[in-house]
Structure formats: C-alpha cells, structure tokens
Amino acid sequence: MIATDAMAASPSPKIRTQLVADRETLMRIFIRPESDASRQTLVKYMDQILFGLHEFLTRHVGVTQEISLKELSKRFTDTHIGQHPERKLADVITDLIENIAPHAVNVASPYFVGHMTSALPFFMVHLKTIVAALNQNVIKLETSKVVSIIEKQVLAKIHRVIFQKDDAFYLKYVQNPHTTLGCFVEDGTLANVSALWVARNALLAPHNNFRGVEAEGLAVAYRAYDIDRLVVLVSRLGHYSLKKACGVLGIGNQNLIPIDVDTNNRMDIHHLKKVVAALHTNTPQTRILAVVGIAGTTETGSVDPLGAIADICHEHGVHFHVDAAWGGPVLMSEKYRHLLSGIERADSVTIDGHKQFYMPMTCGMVYFNNPDLPDAVEYHAGYVIRQGSVDLGRKSLSGSREASSLILDSTLKIMGTRGYGLLIEHGIDTAHEFADEIRKRPLFELTTPPELNILTYRIHPPAAKERMAGPHDAATWNKRLNAITRSVQQLQREAGKSFVSRTTLRGNNAADMERVVFRCVIMNPMTTISILREILDEQENIYHQLDIPLESSTL
C-alpha cells in the first residue's frame, strides 16, 4: 500500500508490486506512519500548521511572481492513476506543502483584501482536525449521536441571536425532534436554495386533492393553484445564487425580478412597492414566492431596509428571506447590530460560517423563524431517517454531512459574542478609515462608501473628473476609466504582494455607465490601515507606470 523504507526514490515497478500486494501493508497504512523518518516529516509539518499557522502560510503559500495559468495547467495533465503507489506518504505530503501550496493563494495574508475568505484563528484548524478524526455523519443519530444533539443546540443559539424569541420558545424547540430551527448546508448558495425550497413547498402545499408541489411537481401545482408563474424579488445587488436557486427549483431564473437600488445601494422600497402593485394588477396569475432582503451585498456590503421589506411582506403574506450570508455575524456586535434591524422579522435567514464566523471552508446555514416550516421538505428512508426519529437528515437538502456544528459550538465557547464583536468592529471601523484615506487621495474615487466592511473605489484622475462633468462624452470617459482600473487591478494581482478584487457596478445605470471598480473586503484582523495605505501606494505607482495617455483611444 504505502512504500516501505526500502523503497528507493524512484522505485522499480517490481518493488512497488511487492509493497502493495499484502494485507499487512494495508493494515499498516490505516494505522500509523510507515517509519520513524516518515513520522518525523509528518510531525514537522503538522507542528508548523497547528502551532504556527500564520508563519507557515506566509512561508509556504502565496506567489510572489505570477506563474501563467497555462504554464501551471501543463504540469497537471497526466490522467492515469498508478496501479501502485507513486510516492511514499511522507513524500506526497512534502510535495503538497513544498511544491503545490506555493501555487495556492494565501487568503490569510493581511494584504489579501479581495474576497470573503481570510485568515482563520489557528484553533479552527485544530477543531477541523478533531471533526475529521471523529468522522461523524450528521445525517442520522446512529452515526453521530451526541453531535446531532449539539447541532440542535448550536442552531438554537444562533437562531436566538437572529430572532430573539423568549426562553419558553427555546426550551420548547431546542431539542424537539419534530421541529427544525435551522440546518447546516454546504454553503450560502445551498442555504438560499433550501430557504426558497421550503418557501415554495409551503406556498404550494397540499390542498383538497392536490398532494403538494414536492409530490406532484410545478406544472400540476400551478394548475391546482390557478397561477402561471412564481416570482422572487431581490435588489439588483442580489447574489447570483438566488438566480441559480430559481433555476434549480423549476421556477425559472428569469422570474427572479431585480428591484432598483437607491443611492446607498439598498433596495429602493418605492420601486419594490411599485413592482408588487403592478404584479397584482397586471398579472393576477403571478404569485410572489418570496422577497429577499440582503444583509451585506457581495459587491458593496450594503444592507437592505429589512424592516420596510418585512412590512411589505407582512401586508401581502409573502415569505421574507434575508440573505445574511455575509452580514449575519454583525449581530454579534453590540455597536453595529442595529444595522441589521428588521432581520428578526424574516421567515428565513442564510448565514455562512466560513465567512464572518471565521470557520474553515465550508459551513452554510439556513434558519427558519417558524420551526414547523421545514416540515414541507421532509423525507424518509427505510434504513435511516425513519419517521419520528431524531435523525437530522429528515429535513435537509443534503444527505451525508460533516459535523461543522462542533466547530461553531466550540468557537462560540472560546470567543463569546464579544470576541466576534471585536472582529466585526475591527472590519467596519477600518473600512471607514480606509474610505477617508481614499477620499483624501486625488487619484481615486470612492464609488461605494462602506456600510459594513466592504467598499469599492476606482482610479479617477482629476483631469478625468473635470471632463466627466460634461455629460456629452461621459460614457467614453467612463470606458477609459474602466480600462485603467482593470489594468491596475490585474498588474497588482500579478505582482503578487496584494490582492484587491474587481467588480463591475451596474446599479440602475445604463450599460455604458457601468463602472469597473476595486472591491475591498476587510475582515482579517491583521489588516490595518497602514497596510491599506501601502496597497493604495502600490496602485498609484502602477498607475503612473502605466504610461498610457489618459485620452488615448486605445483605452
């Protein structure tokens, strides 16, 4: 199975054959390293990872020089699996760390402020290791036991942070095998799919002779309810997973209707009202499945006016879903939790553990205000998840699942709400400081100020600002600015020290006024304002070296 010590660096096929062929080797690979030397190699790396995570990542991961993707791809084209081991265990691990990791991305670097993935507290890796070792499968009690109980408890804890029901409510539901306060899913996309799946089935529930949409399908359901279309409403800044959810669920992704945003990138409530009214008047056979409010848009970190959306949903009896994949943990900060005010009136909420709960990839969660609502998606099987059992797989999109709840539960004990509060406040406060810095520098334009810890900006030289004041050639100038920001972002990424991401702000604008911008996500507590200033300095330098005349027609 694995190579013995006698195995040479380039072993002959003959020796390999002997090495894998017997049961003894098979047992050995299951149990412990093949030799002391192998053990020492593993000990060395595990020690570095577990007790010096950030030094390890700084030393081993992250490119300082861009290697072309094409070049990299060429190295990984062999599609044969050897009949016998290619390498010894310790060599494979060494190769992974010394040769592969350097071409991964050091998302833990404080200079990596481009995406919603960042540094982890070092103990998260310990917790993940323990979870992997226990290897419980939370689909059913028989392969998880206490973990299912803890999962229900931690779901109730986070439910309480969101919905703030009273003690009696939580005592009734925390360990109730018949009800579901929430579910762990792979990620935010599947959390959004789960929420809309539940909402769809609750809306098109069994009645009279109709057995419900889950059983009979959408076409029959539409006839049973005399409708011809379901729609979901979300602001123009809604995450693409909502579109995907509508596609997967058979509703059709063109039935995700975009609502305009106001100047703060929040859902325009007047437009929402207008759309709702128009749907009622003009298309009586259209039903609104859900309105989705966003608590932390992916591109700008904006938070929709959740209370106002809740009012409208309540008035029309429509499911109110909040996509708080990003912003949910802001509720842990006393200073900023008011920003999400109204979330407690949602029917369902998405939160990602691998984002601002700082958990390792991946941990999505979906929560339900009414713990009976997920009954609409209940399934059973003969050998597991029997009716009436405690098996958590009865009402979830996935089947087999990792025990992510153990990681979150332990972390809540280690950090407390205040621990998370500090992380959240660092991000938002630093984002405000960074916005001030951008405003001070004439080369830049702050395109969206931070509401949470995300902001966007672009390169906008003073000369261009003057020219764009005149509307006659605004679109042409905008196009040039887009090209400049795009170039600077790419060159900075390729230089390999810092990473700020790039997106295109559409807003309610005409296509020719779409703005290409830098997108900065500040969640790493090691990212300070001085690091952010360095990043701006570097962007200024790159811009000045571009040496492309601003009025060049090639831009």
Q: Is 119 in the site for a second copy (CB under 8 A)?
A: yes
Closer to a second copy at the Cβ: 3 or 303? 3
Per CB under 8 A, the segment of 7-15, 313-321, 396-404, 441-449 that binds a second copy is 396-404
Q: What are phi and psi of 516, to 5 degrees?
A: -80, 125
Q: 315 near 281, Cβ under 8 Å?
A: no
Q: Is 269 in the site for a second copy (CB under 8 A)?
A: no
Among 6, 52, 280, 316, the residue binding a second copy under the rule CB under 8 A is 52
User: What's the CA gap between 474 and 482, in Å, rounded?
Assistant: 12
Among 109, 179, 189, 430, the residue binding a second copy under the rule CB under 8 A is 189
User: What's the CA gap between 510 and 187, in Å, rounded?
Assistant: 33
Among 6, 96, 277, 463, the residue binding a second copy under the rule CB under 8 A is 96
Q: Interface residues for a second copy in 468-497 (CB under 8 A)?
A: 493
Per CB under 8 A, the segment of 303-311, 312-320, 475-483, 502-510 that binds a second copy is 502-510
Decide: helix, strand or coil at residue 368: strand
Q: Is 412 in the site for a second copy (CB under 8 A)?
A: yes
- Closest distance to a second copy from the beta carbon of 158 (Å): 8
Q: Is 37 in the site for a second copy (CB under 8 A)?
A: no
Closer to a second copy at the Cβ: 81 or 469? 81
Q: Interface residues for a second copy in 222-241 (CB under 8 A)?
A: 222, 228-230, 239-241
Q: Is 39 in the site for a second copy (CB under 8 A)?
A: yes
Q: Is 94 in the site for a second copy (CB under 8 A)?
A: no
DSSP state of 389: S
Closer to a second copy at the Cβ: 16 or 273? 16
Three-state SS string over 168-211 comes to HHHHHHCCCCCCCCEEEECCHHHHHHHHHHHHHHHHCCCECCEC
Among 7, 11, 33, 555, the residue binding a second copy under the rule CB under 8 A is 33
Among 7, 11, 53, 292, the residue binding a second copy under the rule CB under 8 A is 53
Among 18, 44, 252, 476, the residue binding a second copy under the rule CB under 8 A is 252
User: What's the CA gap between 539 and 502, in Å, rounded?
Assistant: 13
Among 43, 277, 278, 463, the residue binding a second copy under the rule CB under 8 A is 43
Q: In which residue are the tokens 């029997």 written?
A: 386
Among 6, 37, 146, 277, the residue binding a second copy under the rule CB under 8 A is 146
Report angle CA 276, 321, 405 to the nearest 5 degrees. 175
- Closest distance to a second copy from the beta carbon of 249 (Å): 6
Q: What residues pair up with 182 in beta bridges, in sequence order?
A: 367
- Closest distance to a second copy from the beta carbon of 366 (Å): 13
User: What's the CA gap between 359 and 362, in Å, rounded?
Assistant: 7
Q: Is 506 in the site for a second copy (CB under 8 A)?
A: yes
Q: Interface residues for a second copy in 519-548 (CB under 8 A)?
A: 519, 525-526
DSSP state of 463: H
Among 5, 6, 27, 494, the residue binding a second copy under the rule CB under 8 A is 27
First-residue to last-residue Cα distance in the chain: 58
Q: In which residue are the tokens 């833990």 written?
A: 108
Q: Which two tokens stand for residue 147?
A: 């973990």
Q: 385 near 400, Cβ under 8 Å?
A: no
User: What's the CA gap between 6 and 11, in Å, rounded?
Assistant: 9
Q: Interface residues for a second copy in 71-90 (CB under 8 A)?
A: 72-89
E strand map for 279-335? 286-294, 319-323
Among 6, 36, 98, 100, the residue binding a second copy under the rule CB under 8 A is 100
Among 276, 403, 438, 523, the residue binding a second copy under the rule CB under 8 A is 403
Q: Is 203 in the site for a second copy (CB under 8 A)?
A: no
Burial class (CB in 10 A: 0-12, 13-18, 19+), 132: exposed
Among 50, 205, 269, 491, the residue binding a second copy under the rule CB under 8 A is 50
- Closest distance to a second copy from the beta carbon of 414 (Å): 5
- Closest distance to a second copy from the beta carbon of 340 (Å): 16
Q: 161 near 332, Cβ under 8 Å?
A: yes
- Closest distance to a second copy from the beta carbon of 544 (Å): 25
DSSP state of 82: P
The distance of Cα 278 from the centroid of its chain, to the nearest Å, equals: 34
**Count helices and strands in the chain by DSSP H and E runs:** 19, 11
Q: Is 129 in the site for a second copy (CB under 8 A)?
A: yes
Kindly determine how many residues on this chain lie close enough to bind a second copy according to the rule CB under 8 A.
184
Q: Is 59 in the site for a second copy (CB under 8 A)?
A: no
Closer to a second copy at the Cβ: 135 or 341? 135
- Closest distance to a second copy from the beta carbon of 30 (Å): 5
Among 109, 111, 136, 430, the residue binding a second copy under the rule CB under 8 A is 136
Q: Is 29 in the site for a second copy (CB under 8 A)?
A: yes
CA distances from 17 to 33, 92, 189 (A): 19, 19, 45
Q: In which residue are the tokens 């990791």 written?
A: 101
- Closest distance to a second copy from the beta carbon of 380 (Å): 7
CA distances from 126 to 96, 122, 330 (A): 19, 7, 25
Q: Interface residues for a second copy in 313-352 (CB under 8 A)?
A: 352
166: CB partners within 8 A, 6+ apart: none
- Closest distance to a second copy from the beta carbon of 360 (Å): 4
Closer to a second copy at the Cβ: 159 or 345? 159
- Closest distance to a second copy from the beta carbon of 214 (Å): 4
User: What's the CA gap between 227 and 241, in Å, rounded?
Assistant: 25
Q: 399 near 139, Cβ under 8 Å?
A: yes
User: What's the CA gap between 499 and 491, in Å, rounded?
Assistant: 10
Looking from the CA of 400 toward its CB, the CA atoms found within 13 Å total 4
